Amino acid sequence: MSPTSPPPPAPGNTLFIEGLPYTLPPSTLTKFFKDAGFTLLEQRLPTWQDNPNRLRGFGHVVFESEDQAKKAIKELNGKQLPGHSRYITLKTANLPKAETQRPVRSQPEGCTSIHIRNLPYTITEDDVEKVFSEFGKITPNGIRLPLNLQNQPKGFGYVTYLSSSSALAAANKASKPYGVVVNGRPVFVDFDEKGLTGVKDSFRTKEGKVWNREMKNERREFGKEGKDGGGKEGKEKKAKT
């Protein structure tokens, strides 16, 4: 684990929570536990891909200790959230896969790319670079994070190194329990054979250029202009009407 990575939470500290209102602000959930005498170290509340502001109604909450987590179940399970009609369910979370040893499969010859899963939806290329550059030098534009229609990360990505030994080092480290942690989340790493034949088509523009962070920013700005009619696309639509 990188010296800058936060220590992973003990499995007994984590509870599964469900019954959450879809529009519940995370700060409201934090206050709910704080008012009951509990401090949350972390909240993991999945959202819908097509609407990152809408919760899926369940998630995980991490407490300071296993005793605090057990006490929360005893005192808050089945309680109603203030201002909402729903009742929450709290129970001990299942043992995460990150707690187990995952054997590394044989590395394809010459493979310098890795596929990373379980990345936070708020992840940035800089976050990925900070963690994975410790295994070796990454190629220019070698970090690729697919985005959904709202320009939000999908939770997985790819890193391409200059050396195949760097890819192997990353996969070996991630195979251990909580071996590689990104922004508090353990990630899963596998070799990306498709990287052997070049960049995936999904990471190229119509002109065949490789996506990078600058082009992502251009895409975001174009999207904004198109919506408000200020861009070329918006003006053309107005002219037709």
Q: Would you state the pLDDT for residue 235?
A: 46
User: Which one-letter amino acid corresponds to residue 84?
Assistant: H
**Tokens, residue 198:** 């070049």
* HSE toward the beta carbon, residue 183, CA cutoff 13 A: 15
Between 90 and 102, residue with greater pLDDT: 90
Burial 117-145 (b: 16+ CB within 10 A, else e): eebeeebebebbeebbbbbbebeebbbbb
**pTM of the predicted model as reported, rounded to 2 decimal places:** 0.52
Give residue-wise pLDDT tens across range 142-175: 999 998 877 888 889 999 999 999 999 999 999 8
Phi, psi of 37 (to 5 degrees): 95, 20
Query: pLDDT per residue over 47-79, tens digit each?
Result: 886 777 888 899 889 898 999 999 999 999 999
With tokens 């008012």, the residue in question is 35
Q: Which domains, ranges and CATH numbers included, belong to the chain?
A: 11-95 (3.30.70.330), 113-210 (3.30.70.330)
Beta bridge partners of 16: 60, 91
State the Cα–Cα distance between residues 89 and 102, nearest whole angstrom: 31
Query: In the structure, what pLDDT confidence band is assigned to residue 208 with cuts at 50, 70 and 90?
Result: very low
